[in-house]
Structure 1
Amino acid sequence: MKGFQRITAPLAQKSAVALGFFDGVHLGHRAVLGAAARCAAEQELLACAFTFAADSVPVKQGVPLSYLYTDTQKAELMQDCGIHGVYCPAFSELCGLDGEAFCRQVLVELLHAQEVFCGGDFRFGAKAAWNIDSLREFGSQFGFGVHQVAPVLCGGEKISSTAIRQAIRAGKPEQAANLLGVPYHVSGRVIHGAALGRTKAVPTINIPFA
């Protein structure tokens, strides 16, 4: 992905950071990512996103997770939203940090955040014990601004990755696309199968995916 970076060391410039899990990069996520990207363009900052590596979070709020996209696909979709860098550590690397340590180590020391964007339900720190009000307090302490992005609704309901997964499982790709903002897609390396399709006059392409 040209012009896109995986962040592994402290940035050389200040940034506008979108915070979230961003599985699916649906319309609600795009609102957060787009707000960070617009701010970065206006203030000559680097547009960044913080998220966790998908396969490092098997359970969320006690519920086993399946994922809409791989981390590579997520990064490509984020770039389409104007994001130019992503910090995507394994959950185990940061799950023990308290809220203050997360803000200091990740937002200040690594990402040099000047402006931070998230949804109102964003939580962080060990056991997700800190919320957006906490983030504002740390922003005042460390010198970065915090911006809450309003949820995006569809049919009066907040768009969620859970609803998109349910639509895909139910065989309703059009409904999933309405929530994602783009058609749902799978990708992967084409592999050889058993060559049965050609015997039925319906050749197929085989792509393994989780």
Structure 2
Amino acid sequence: MYIVESIKKVDKYFGIVGITIGNFEGFHRGHQKILRTLKDGCKKRGLKSAVLTFKTHPLKIIRGFEPERLWSHNDKIKTFIGEGIDFLICIDFTLSFADTTAENFIEDLAHKVNPKFICLGEEFRFGRGNAGSVGLVEKYSNIFEYDFIKVRDELFDGDAISSTRIRQAIKSGDIKSASKMLGRNYSFYLKLVDMEYFEPFLSNQALPHRGQFIGMLLLPHTGVKAKARVLFPERRIEIIKNKAGRFNPINIGAPEQTLFSFEFSS
């Protein structure tokens, strides 16, 4: 996957890509549907696939706060690599960028990337004051000669899946619903403290406010894991069962410096 950090002309991809745009926080089932549409559309048209996304959440710049995270920035990059995306435009969301009009954004994208296919979620908004909609992108398709597909929302319990709904479910302790909306078991990175307690690796990770939850504690990249219980708000962790006796955090050098992953059972 070829990665750039600004919207700029890249000769080997100029005029031969299909693109989607978004923050893709958590990469839930709605995001997955958009990427499937992108890849299918690119394959049919003989195009390379491209994604434009952001290093930081737009709300952190626009309103001064960042919603609780559902995954790390590295997870986002790894996911796009795993999905087989060819070209990633990963930019800083700045006040200057936020002040760009919707019309100027489309024109800039057309002049620097010249996509021949664009697909976006139906609720996608962009440009100064969120004035731009998918209707505007579709309108400009005739001017800049690209195909456009609007991707319908993916639903759960009758309503559109969103990162906001998933955060709310997690914080209320409804991990089952959160995992169903994500399309996978929810997980987070942690570091052990005194072998009994943990600190989340991401300071603003979305986590349950209270309750006890069963899952798997994993040492990434090793396959070593153990069944464990986490308790909130205490942030306490209890090892329940080691797989074949292989996993014992005490035997891992400097566990307080080791990054573990906890995957909730759904």
TM-score relative to the length of structure 2: 0.66
Structure 1's 133 and 56: CA in aligned 2 closer, same or farther, altered over 3 A?
A: closer
SS in 1 for 2:125: coil
Alpha-carbon shift at residue 63 of structure 1 (Å):
7.8
Shift of 1:194: 4.9
> Highest relative contact order (Cα 8 Å, sep 6+), 1 or 2?
1
1:10 is aligned to 9
- With normalisation by structure 1, the TM-score equals 0.82
Letter in 2 for 1:7: V
1:182 aligns with 2:184: yes
Counterpart in the other structure of 2:102: 99
2:32 to 30, 37, 57: 30
User: Greater CA radius of gyration, 1 or 2?
Assistant: 2
| Aligned Cα root-mean-square deviation (Å) | 2.9
User: Given residue 9 of structure 2, which amino acid in structure 1 is its aligned partner?
Assistant: P
Q: Please give the alpha-carbon distance, in whole angstroms, between the structure 2 residues aligned to 1:111 and 1:70.
A: 27
CA distance in 2, matches of 1:208, 1:58: 27
Residue 154 (structure 1) shift: 1.2
What residue number does 1:80 align with?
Answer: 82
Distance 1:73 1:156, change over 3 A: same
Report the number of matched residues. 201
Bigger fraction of residues in strand: 2
Q: 1:60 to 1:158 in 2, by over 3 A?
A: farther
Gaps of 5+ in 2: 198-236, 240-248, 262-266
3-state SS of 1:91 partner: coil
Displacement of 1:197: 3.9
Alpha-carbon distance between aligned partners in 1 of 2:172 and 2:154, rounded to the nearest angstrom: 22
Counterpart of 2:133? Answer: 131
Q: Which has the higher helix share?
A: 1
Separation of aligned partners in 1, 2:238 and 2:76 = 36
Contact 1:59/1:65 (8 A) holds in 2: no
Partner Cα separation in structure 2 for residue 30 and residue 201 of structure 1: 34
String of CA shifts for 1:71-129, please: whole Å, max 9, x gaps.
221222233334222212111152121122211222x2333211000111111111111
Residues 20 and 118, structure 2, Cα contact 8 Å, conserved in 1: yes
